Structure 1
């Protein structure tokens, strides 16, 4: 940060804005949102800021990548209102969500490994499960331990598209349909929502295999790691702001 933002004295909105490539309107918006402490005013009504405001702005911008704009705003507002415990609670919630996301990823990866290495149904069962060119809904649901209504719900959500038997009108799941159903089943067990599963199933279907998910999982790992490091960076900046704030206002 530029020396004039840490050496004391009054700062203009443009001084804060220029350092971070922001507009002066953004600085005013941040103040109105409670992200920055209230500005001082000159005799002519112009806003004036201090190095403490500059530190608050740096803390907020560092918190956003790890916690998101809404939570980062709430954290800074709590700090500026003297409610540090509320700020810490919000930070704890973000960390808990990150941990939950990591556990979900691990569950999905484990489920996909199970799917990839799962044996085919025994030949003795195939006749009971199969109709002309595929598998009926009832036997497939029993095989997976779910209800036929669940399979119909997944079909409505676009996760699978079985054809209809021309004579009976029954749903018939071919080999690719069964793979999609099993994949959806594993992803649901891993905590995925239907709206999250649909695009993944579409990728697998278009590529003819599970390979597209490997890139998606690598990307997911990368995003979680980036978010974790961003939380560390945000914590460091927030601690600096808290120390400076205590020096100015006392505990």
Structure 2
């Protein structure tokens, strides 16, 4: 039989704190923030909690790894207000964001595969090994030179200028970035969403080192998905016992 949450069993702040590896101040803060239901007070003004508070705290702490502190707090506030539908909506938004992140990762992986298969397919007219001008690069990508200039203004490609002619010169890294931007744009990604990915390629020092970053990204998404499952299980138990 489910535990009677209206029983007279009382828990002190220290009981909740010790049971979850927290300080008593953290427990009081969670109550003040609406993450825990309001506590009763003894005639002397001391807070008293119940198994309901313990389950609410357990649910909140389980939600944090998957949804983050802010969203987990919003979920628990909605539950404490009796707005279960709002809590479920917030959870759905978290899953939708996770799915969107998975699709972004897949798009990047697809773009990198396409990049590896198409890079260096065509010779380029260039002032030096691995370099090219805006016209040949635009033709290679099947876009207008104006598009490359737009990408440059957005910081997605960073060609240097030939000191004699003033023409834009795209080196191997610029060509790589342009190819990656082109693949992601074809996948429907906006420039502002592509910019941090290009920055990641640059900071990794190219495509090969980025593979480790992508593996870590994939692992973190999987960990987040499993954390969401754990959080949902704890929240469901809390909602069922809460009634």
Instruction: State the TM-score, normalizing by the size of structure 1.
Output: 0.83
1:88, 1:34 → 2: CA distance?
A: 17
Q: Which residue of 2 aligns with 1:165?
A: 162
CA drift at 1:181: 2.1
Say whether residues 1:230 and 2:230 are aligned partners: no
Is the CA contact (8 Å cut-off) linking 1:40 and 1:48 kept in structure 2?
Answer: yes
CA drift at 1:78: 0.7
1:96, 1:122 → 2: CA distance?
A: 40
Compared CA separation, residues 151 and 237, structure 1 to 2 (3 A): same
Number of positions where the alignment pairs a residue of Structure 1 with one of Structure 2: 233
Compared CA separation, residues 153 and 22, structure 1 to 2 (3 A): farther
Q: Report the secondary structure of 1:21's partner residue.
A: coil
Say whether residues 1:201 and 2:201 are aligned partners: yes
Unaligned runs of 5+ in 2: none
Q: CA RMSD in A?
A: 2.3
Q: Which residue of 2 aligns with 1:120?
A: 120
Instruction: State the TM-score, normalizing by the size of structure 2.
Output: 0.86
1:20, 1:149 → 2: CA distance?
A: 58
Unaligned runs of 5+ in 1: 247-251
Q: Which residue of 1 aligns with 2:34?
A: 34
Q: Report the secondary structure of 2:36's partner residue.
A: coil
Q: Which residue of 2 aligns with 1:103?
A: 103
Compared CA separation, residues 222 and 189, structure 1 to 2 (3 A): farther
CA drift at 1:194: 4.3
- 160, 183, 186: which is aligned to 2:183? 186
Is the CA contact (8 Å cut-off) linking 1:203 and 1:212 kept in structure 2?
Answer: no
Is the CA contact (8 Å cut-off) linking 1:62 and 1:233 kept in structure 2?
Answer: yes
Is the CA contact (8 Å cut-off) linking 1:159 and 1:184 kept in structure 2?
Answer: yes
2:229, 2:103 → 1: CA distance?
A: 20
